[in-house]
Amino acid sequence: MELQEVEVFIAPDGTTRIEVRGVAGAGCLDLTEDLEKALGGQVVERELTAEAQELIQERVDERLRRSQGS
Per run of 10 residues, the mean pLDDT along the chain (length 70 residues) is: 87 92 83 90 85 82 84
Q: What is the structure's pLDDT at 60?
A: 87
Residue extents of the structural domains in the chain = 5-67
Q: What is the structure's pLDDT at 10?
A: 92
CA-based nearest residue to 2, from 28, 40, 41, 29 = 28
Q: What is the structure's pLDDT at 70?
A: 56
Q: What is the structure's pLDDT at 34?
A: 92
Q: What is the structure's pLDDT at 1?
A: 60
Q: How many residues does the chain have?
A: 70
Give the SS3 label for residue 34. helix
